[in-house]
Structure 1
Amino acid sequence: MSKEQITLTKNELKRVMVIEKWIDGHLTEQDVARNLGISVRQAYRLKAKYRHGGAQAIAHGNRGRKPAHTLTDSLKQRVMLLYQERYFGSNATHFAELLAEHENIHLSVSSVRRILLEGGLRPARLRRRPKAHRPRPRKPQAGMLWQIDASPYAWLEDRGPMLTLHGIIDDATGEVVAATFRPTETLEGYVTVMIEGLRRKGVPLALYSDQHSIFHPPKGKPTLEQELAGEPPSLSTFGQALADLGITHIEALSPQAKGRIERLWQTFQDRLVIELRLRNVCTMEEANRVLPELIAKHNRQFAVAPQEAEPAYRPLPETPLEHIFTRREYRRISGGQTFFWKGKCYMPKPVPGVPRWEAKSVVEVRVGMDGQVWLWDQGRAWPCVETQATQTPAPTTAKKEAAPASPRKPAANHPWRKPFSSKQLQRSTASG
């Protein structure tokens, strides 16, 4: 007759050995309770179970049984199939959210992670290294500090071109104020998100950016236009607009300094790519069309309440934002009220009240992101239209052919024809 084998854990084996010594009289009930870390009453229960069923009774009762709340194999297979076909690349947290939103499958994040690990679809996540420095605390009020940046990435994967996402995040709340896709990192992209954010929220106190030439032009000698206007080359086009709005510009010396928006790009590269794939977005126009919906969804999930309810935003200026975020040049205006910019001739549009500038005076020209040209005078923009340059006809001078000079004969009364007098002869002889 074969003996039944019983598998016990270390803790269960320890309980069996202690209870046997208690039964043999080598230990008291207080010693058993102290060694096993249980109460005396629980020790008597274990002793009764051991006498009734032996060592097998000490083992856990659910060993070898399938839990009642376990996931079925068919559900696990379906989850792994959905991940491979539709949601590949998403992390466990995002995948669990997508399953509940699109597939009506409600699983915990730990269950989803365990299914992916068992199927070999996700690598085991390494433990994060401890942070070397303490992160900077958030600003107490919304609108005290915005962080602005751009992230080039394959947002459309292989369905479309490489795009660059421009965005602004509020430091106090983590709310994405505005965002837009552009082919590359451009001034127009930053101006678009700034104007959108200013109209939605108001004017913030400060803006945090990197040292890109869009925000910080390279140091050098002033241009001719700046010398004519008497302005130093200290501000870029974007910097001049911030100065007009009274926004303090702070330049980060490293990506870690503006870590809040850098972590935003990591989150977007992990989640936004999946959302765009599920909507089958293939062009930049389609991506910008669905972007407000995705930004609103992100803000509902990740934005936090500020420490102080009162925001620090200021009202917008009376000057339209399109007249502030412009390229600024300086030109000399002619007597016909025309000037040149990029090889084209412009003049102020004839509207009531348009001033007249003196000839050869230096005027400020502002060019919008859409190419509209204005003459800026005393806080007002006067629209300009393209015109034909007035051409002054050049004088025509006929070239004369070279001819031999006519022979010249002295006149009859010329001194050369008169004979020398005696006095002149003596004077010439004495001098010789």
Structure 2
Amino acid sequence: MTIRKVDLNMTEQEKYEIIKKLVETNGNKKRAALKIGCTQRHINRLIQRYKKEGKSAFIHGNHGRKPAHTIEKEKKELIVDFYRTKYYGANFEHFTELLEKYEDVKVSPSVVRSVLMNEQIISPMAHRSTKKKLKKQLKAQKEAASSKKEIEQLQNKILEIEDAHPRRPRCANFGEMIQMDASEHLWFGDKKTQLHIAVDDSTGAIVGAYFDLQETLNGYYNVLSQILKSHGIPYMFFTDRRTVFEYNKKKSPSIEEDTFTQFGYACKQLGIEIETSSIPQAKGRVERIFRTLQSRLIIELRLNGITTIEQANIFLNSYIKEYNDAFALPVNNIKSVFEKQPDDEKINLTLAVLSSRKIDNGHCIRYENKYFKLLDTYGYPVYYYKGTSGMVIKSFNKELYFCVEEKVYVLEEIPTHERKSRNFDFDTPVEKPKKKYIPPMSHPWKQASFEKYMNKQAHRKEKTA
């Protein structure tokens, strides 16, 4: 007869010794019940099982048995493989959503975290304590490692990322403060692009987003257009002074490249205040959202086969709605201070790029390396003396106008060659001038107003230099 070895854990061993002593000495059952933490009736059951089965009576019924909720080894390997090859960079909660959405793998975020943490993979959004704990483990493994290759691999894993954005209370009202910024990243394809976003400080909702090749006035104008059309006029923009909102540089060749003046003048006409800060950490809300988007949006763009800016901007329309539904606070109980939404024409004319030009001896102006003539509302050319100064207005939809004092004209490009010959195309009827739409001067395009604003910005630049 072979005697089976019985291994008990610490708790089971303690129960065994108490009951064994109780039986051998015929001791006090009440005292034994207090030590174990059970009733006297349960002590009687343990005594009977001990007399019948001996030491093995104290082994738990589930000892050596896999829990019902344990996932198979193959499934664990599949989760790790998916994360390393297809969904790398996703935070664990997002990864869980992607597994169910695209792979029909249904597991909880806690299971995903446990599986990946066992492989020393942490979430991009991991807490500082989690990073610190993993770093400690990696350092211990590095000290115990023998090969140079293994030491190098472990050293590459030891990274600590600090969250340098201090928290502060949210604004009380929706539209009270909109934080704006752009982030250069490899969002899609093989070339870095700039994602411009605007975030409401009160709700954390993204109220505008646009991709462009560089951090540009066009990018921020598109974001502002989205805000005006979807919500209305906000009270304030909060931006980083180090970005394109900085005052124009000394070597800037033209006023149209001075983004701060152009964007600031548009906001002035809408009654929007602009506050800037030289400390990027002050915009903690928008910086944290960029971290989240770099974890989530990149993967979504990759899975949807996005390779161009045009595709990416179309995709943003639907993705931002999903993002706000998942992460932004509901606006139901938050007061909105957005002013009435302006009509499309006002938006188009307000988000304009303004440039100073002078009429040449051919009664034309040169703009963007092209020559343009001035037309009145009936489509007839208008002539001014050489050297007459005015202001080119390039509207948001790229239409061109020219303002001289109190009058606005349409600009029409002069082609390099005549489209039709006067000497050989005899059958072609002479085209009559067509009427042109010219916006009223109620829009603040007066040259004096813009020049006054430019001088004010130049004075502020000198004070901060």
**Separation (CA, whole Å) in 2 of partners of 1:206 and 1:164:** 23
Match of 2:274 among 241, 249, 257: 249
Measured at CA, do residues 3 and 211 of structure 1 come closer, stay the same or move farther in structure 2, by a change above 3 Å?
Answer: same
Q: CA deviation at 1:62?
A: 0.3
1:13-32 → structure 2 map (5 Å cutoff)? 13-24=13-24, 28-32=28-32
Q: CA deviation at 1:238?
A: 1.0
Q: Residue 326 of structure 2 corresponds to which residue in structure 1?
A: 301
Q: Residue 122 of structure 1 corresponds to which residue in structure 2?
A: 121
Q: Deviations over 1:172-218 (max 9, x none)?
A: 22222121211121111111111112111111111111113521215
Measured at CA, do residues 69 and 207 of structure 1 come closer, stay the same or move farther in structure 2, by a change above 3 Å?
Answer: same
Q: Residue 204 of structure 2 corresponds to which residue in structure 1?
A: 174
Q: Residue 374 of structure 1 corresponds to which residue in structure 2?
A: 401
Measured at CA, do residues 369 and 132 of structure 1 come closer, stay the same or move farther in structure 2, by a change above 3 Å?
Answer: closer
Q: Which amino acid aligns with 2:394?
A: V
Q: CA deviation at 1:378?
A: 8.7
- Would the aligned equivalents of 2:16 and 2:55 in 1 still touch at CA under 8 Å? yes
Q: CA deviation at 1:351?
A: 0.3
- Would the aligned equivalents of 2:229 and 2:342 in 1 still touch at CA under 8 Å? no
Q: CA deviation at 1:8?
A: 1.9
2:130 counterpart SS class: coil
Alpha carbon RMSD of aligned pairs, Å? 3.9
Match of 2:263 among 228, 238, 243: 238
**Separation (CA, whole Å) in 2 of partners of 1:379 and 1:30:** 103
Q: Which amino acid aligns with 2:271?
A: G
Q: Residue 385 of structure 1 corresponds to which residue in structure 2?
A: 412
Q: CA deviation at 1:221?
A: 11
Q: Residue 154 of structure 1 corresponds to which residue in structure 2?
A: 186
**Separation (CA, whole Å) in 2 of partners of 1:46 and 1:91:** 49
Q: Residue 100 of structure 1 corresponds to which residue in structure 2?
A: 100
**Separation (CA, whole Å) in 2 of partners of 1:220 and 1:77:** 58
Q: Deviations over 1:275-332 (max 9, x none)?
A: 1121122222222222222222222211222483432110134662222222223445
- Would the aligned equivalents of 1:147 and 1:169 in 2 still touch at CA under 8 Å? yes
Measured at CA, do residues 222 and 84 of structure 1 come closer, stay the same or move farther in structure 2, by a change above 3 Å?
Answer: closer
- Would the aligned equivalents of 2:164 and 2:281 in 1 still touch at CA under 8 Å? no
1:136-215 → structure 2 map (5 Å cutoff)? 136-156=168-188, 159-215=189-245
Q: Deviations over 1:24-76 (max 9, x none)?
A: 55974454444444455555554444444333222221011122332233433
Measured at CA, do residues 8 and 366 of structure 1 come closer, stay the same or move farther in structure 2, by a change above 3 Å?
Answer: same
Measured at CA, do residues 374 and 61 of structure 1 come closer, stay the same or move farther in structure 2, by a change above 3 Å?
Answer: same
Q: Which amino acid aligns with 1:244?
A: Q
2:247 equivalent to 1:217: yes
- Would the aligned equivalents of 2:244 and 2:260 in 1 still touch at CA under 8 Å? no
Of 212-221 and 269-278, the range deviating more from structure 2: 212-221
Q: Which has the larger radius of gyration?
A: 1
1:4-15 → structure 2 map (5 Å cutoff)? 4-15=4-15
Measured at CA, do residues 182 and 325 of structure 1 come closer, stay the same or move farther in structure 2, by a change above 3 Å?
Answer: same
- Would the aligned equivalents of 2:248 and 2:259 in 1 still touch at CA under 8 Å? no
- Would the aligned equivalents of 1:140 and 1:307 in 2 still touch at CA under 8 Å? no
**Separation (CA, whole Å) in 2 of partners of 1:68 and 1:225:** 70
Aligned length: 380
**Separation (CA, whole Å) in 2 of partners of 1:287 and 1:241:** 27
2:323 equivalent to 1:324: no
**Separation (CA, whole Å) in 1 of partners of 2:69 and 2:268:** 62
Of 303-312 and 238-247, the range deviating more from structure 2: 303-312
Q: Which runs of 5+ in 1 are unaligned?
A: 227-232, 389-432
1:71-82 → structure 2 map (5 Å cutoff)? 71-82=71-82
**Separation (CA, whole Å) in 1 of partners of 2:413 and 2:236:** 38
**Separation (CA, whole Å) in 1 of partners of 2:97 and 2:89:** 14
Q: CA deviation at 1:107?
A: 0.8
Q: CA deviation at 1:383?
A: 3.0
**Separation (CA, whole Å) in 1 of partners of 2:407 and 2:74:** 70
Measured at CA, do residues 5 and 239 of structure 1 come closer, stay the same or move farther in structure 2, by a change above 3 Å?
Answer: same
1:249 counterpart SS class: strand
Measured at CA, do residues 316 and 374 of structure 1 come closer, stay the same or move farther in structure 2, by a change above 3 Å?
Answer: farther
- Would the aligned equivalents of 1:141 and 1:307 in 2 still touch at CA under 8 Å? no
Q: Deviations over 1:347-391 (max 9, x none)?
A: 54210599x999676544323356533235799864323459xxx
- Would the aligned equivalents of 1:91 and 1:270 in 2 still touch at CA under 8 Å? yes
1:177 counterpart SS class: strand
1:116 counterpart SS class: helix
- Percent identity reads 30
Q: CA deviation at 1:7?
A: 1.9
**Separation (CA, whole Å) in 1 of partners of 2:281 and 2:243:** 19
Structure number with higher helix proportion: 2
Q: Which runs of 5+ in 2 are unaligned?
A: 133-161, 416-465
Measured at CA, do residues 254 and 224 of structure 1 come closer, stay the same or move farther in structure 2, by a change above 3 Å?
Answer: closer
Q: Residue 413 of structure 1 corresponds to which residue in structure 2?
A: none
Q: Residue 274 of structure 1 corresponds to which residue in structure 2?
A: 299
Q: Which amino acid aligns with 2:401?
A: W
Of 164-173 and 300-309, the range deviating more from structure 2: 300-309
Measured at CA, do residues 224 and 168 of structure 1 come closer, stay the same or move farther in structure 2, by a change above 3 Å?
Answer: closer
- Would the aligned equivalents of 1:217 and 1:234 in 2 still touch at CA under 8 Å? yes
TM-score by length of 1: 0.74
Measured at CA, do residues 262 and 312 of structure 1 come closer, stay the same or move farther in structure 2, by a change above 3 Å?
Answer: same
